[in-house]
Amino acid sequence: MFSHEVTQSQEEVIEGDGAQSQQLQEDLAVVISTPQGRRFIWSLLGQAGLFCPSFHADALHMAFAEGARNLGLQLFQQLNQFHPEGYVRMQQEQMQAAEAQRQHQALSREDAPNKGG
């Protein structure tokens, strides 16, 4: 029974009541269209714990984490339903940023012994 209520609530967020839903889709399109917006959304998805398990021995801690994760899943679902190309672009940019960071760290480690002498 509870899971049906959650599913119904998620459908209302996604499908909405026409004009409001359309406005939210357009707002998301504006946000996902900029590099800053894509970084912000990626950060929100990470903070929501979308990409990691929410299990914890303490039930209250786990319930809190699942609530945050559920919000992240709703945003993820909206992105994939209405702006899948924006999500793919955001993911590619994050992979490129992570690779650039790894290369920078590798170069820093290589230069460290030369500076000590």
* pLDDT tens for each residue of 30-77: 999 999 999 999 999 999 999 899 999 999 999 999 999 999 999 999
Residue 2's pLDDT is what? 42
**Max Cα–Cα distance, the chain, nearest Å:** 69
- Res 5 pLDDT > 60: no
- Other beta carbons within 10 angstroms of residue 93's beta carbon come to 14
Task: Count CA atoms within 13 Å of residue 71 on its CB side.
Answer: 12
Give the mean pLDDT of 92-117: 86
Confidence of residue 4 (pLDDT cuts 50, 70, 90): very low
